[in-house]
Amino acid sequence: MSFVRKQKYLIDYTLSSLGRRPGKNLGLLLVYTLIVFMLASVMLFTHSLRTEAGLVLQESPEVILQRMVAGRHDLIPADYLDRIGRVRGVSEKYGRLWGYFYDPAVRANYTLMVPRDREIVPGGVVIGAGIARTRGLDEGDFLTFRSSAGEPVSFRVVGLLDHESELVSADLMLVNEATFREFFGIAEDYYTDIVLRVRNPREVRKVAEKLAVKLPDTRPILRDEILRTYDAIFGWRQGIVFVLLGGAILAFVIFAWDKASGLSAEERREIGILKAIGWETADVIRMKFWEGAIVSLAAFFLGYLLAYGHVFYLSAALFEPVLKGWAVLYPEFQPVPFVDGLQVATLFFFTVFPYTVATIVPIWQASITDPDTVMR
């Protein structure tokens, strides 16, 4: 009980001590909070993007088969579906039609696709929110492009894709098969690629090996590989932001070290008085430990909360251009709030811990001096 009371007295004294140097401590808290805010924003945002991308890709097929000609992706003949024949573990296989279209009016690439689960009227198009925003379109409006044959083709907007999947669908245009083939001039017996559904994840690799043997001019792409690629892309983008933040972090470290380790004459005198009136070296160190801990914990929680609000309520407005989207049109989406315990712990360890230690060392040096110095 007395131990708890003693800690309460020490914290009480620490708080009043912090209050007595408002300029120094508020400045430190501000800079410290800003650093935690920036680091936590990047971490929360990239983590959330990865999670989001993972969720979206969960629905995608396990294996995508592409035909290669001279090392480049080419259209795949429809009879390859028959040549694959029966492969153990494959529950479904079908050809897909998709491609890119450059819209010179807004200087952006759109992704055109034929959906399997959605019937779209001939000449109709369902567009992603990014396109709708950039071109100012709504249902019933018309969109005209030049086809591969040089003819103008008008699409009527029959639907908009919902916001939730905007991260990957901002630039998406869904059309029916006949419209797609006509627009791009793709013959009836060709697909962009073939996808295979494999129920058992342990069989995916085996299926891919069999495909590579049966159809040597194709390459199977596994969903796991795509996930890994996205992961690497986000990891790389996060890395770039961290490098950019590196300078700021270094400046903070110097600032914090200076603030935390440089004891003013007034503080040294105060430590001398405390020792002379009966405080032990350990009490003084504990008090200063609380001082460092209070400042860094406050900055950590404040910075983390601000980052949480910034990422999940303001869509990470500060980092959006660097971190978000592989669609050419910038998507507008609200990341799903998700906090990773390990990430919080890492951030905590790299911010709170060094500062607290930095405050202890000089205090220890000051507090082991003989208390009789205040008598002189």
Partner 1 sequence: MIHLEQVKKAFNQGRTNEFWAVRGITLELEANRATVLKGPSGSGKTTLLSMIGCLSRPTSGRITLEGRLLSNLPERFMTDVRRSTFGFIFQQFNLIKGLTVLENVMLPAYPLGPDHRALKQAALGLLKQFGLADRADYKAEWLSGGEAQRTAICRAMINQPRILIADEPTANLDTRLVREFMAMVRDLVDMGKTVLLTSHDPMVFDSPQVAAVLEMRDGLLAEA
Q: How far is the CB of 30 from partner 1 (least distance, A)?
A: 21
Closest to partner 1 by CB, 93 or 275 = 275
Binding residues for partner 1 (CB under 8 A): 1-10, 12-13, 16, 19-20, 266, 269-270, 273-283, 370-372, 374-376
The tokens describing 327, both together, are: 């669609």
Q: Which is nearer to partner 1, 19 or 262 (CB)?
A: 19
At closest approach, how far in Å is the CB of 320 from partner 1?
Answer: 45
Quick check: 173 and 127 in contact, CB under 8 A? yes
| DSSP 8-state assignment for residue 157 | E
Reported as half-sphere exposure (CB side, CA atoms, 13 A), residue 127 has a value of 25
Q: Residue 111 phi/psi, 5° resolution? A: -105, 115
Q: Least Å distance between CB 271 and partner 1?
A: 11
Least Cβ distance, residue 46 to partner 1 (angstroms):
44
Task: Report in angstroms how near the CB of residue 279 gets to partner 1 at its nearest.
Answer: 5
For partner 1, the closer of residues 200 and 365 by Cβ is: 365
Q: If you write DSSP's letter for every residue of 258-282 in order, what string do you get? A: HHHH---HHHHHHHHHHHHTT--HH
Nearer to partner 1, 19 or 216 (CB): 19
The least distance separating partner 1 from the CB of residue 362, rounded to whole angstroms, comes to: 19
Q: What CA–CA distance (Å, rounded) separates 276 from 157? A: 83
Q: Which long-range contacts (CB under 8 A, 24 or more apart) does 350-355 make?
A: 351/32, 351/35, 351/36, 351/39, 351/296, 351/299, 351/300, 352/293, 352/296, 352/297, 352/300, 354/253, 354/256, 355/32, 355/256, 355/260, 355/292, 355/295, 355/296
* For partner 1, the closer CB: 1 or 342: 1
Least gap, CB of 8 to partner 1 (angstroms):
8
The phi, psi pair for 103, rounded to 5°, reads -100, 105
Of 50 and 286, nearer to partner 1 (C-beta) is 286
Of the pair 139, 370, the CB lying nearest partner 1 is at: 370
State which residue, 16 or 144, has the beta carbon closest to partner 1: 16
Q: Bridge partners of 221?
A: 64
- Longest pairwise C-alpha distance within the chain: 99
Strands (E), the chain: 63-69, 72-74, 76-77, 90-96, 98-103, 108-113, 124-127, 142-146, 152-160, 172-174, 190-191, 193-198, 218-222
Smallest gap from Cβ 130 to partner 1, in A, equals 58
| CA dist., res. 315 & res. 337, Å (int) | 11
